Amino acid sequence: MSVYFFKGKGYCYDFEMNKQRYTGAHFKTITKARQAEAKRREELTNPEQQQTETVNIQTDMDFLTLANKRLGYVKCYNSKEHFRHVLYHI
């Protein structure tokens, strides 16, 4: 357990566990830094399985609808009317 103070930045903690270094910084008080260090140690010694929810994302269009919309856009973009409006601003 080691807590340091850096002028202008605040307190930070630093410790090693299983030959790996863990740090946390920018705490306003020394007690908050010590509490954060204790919480981090607890998380590392007793890892809990995180529950992840799977969310099904429904799409509004299928591939054929999307392809038809794109083809309609390309057909409109390549028309003479489109070039006349864009080129001559009519």
Tell me the pLDDT tens digit for each residue of 5-60: 988 889 999 999 989 999 998 899 999 999 999 999 988 888 776 556 777 777 67
Would you state the pLDDT for residue 90?
A: 67
Would you state the pLDDT for residue 64?
A: 85
pLDDT at 89 over 80: no
Cα(62)–Cα(59) distance, rounded to whole angstroms? 7
Question: How many domains in the chain?
Answer: 2
- Residue 55 falls inside a structural domain: no
Beta strands per DSSP E along 1-90: 2-6, 10-17, 20-27
Chain-centre distance for alpha carbon 74: 35
Would you state the pLDDT for residue 51?
A: 58
71 in the same domain as 37: no
Cα(12)–Cα(27) distance, rounded to whole angstroms? 6
- Domain, as residue range, for 26: 2-45
Claim: this prediction has a pTM higher than 0.85: no
72 in the same domain as 41: no
- Residue 50 falls inside a structural domain: no
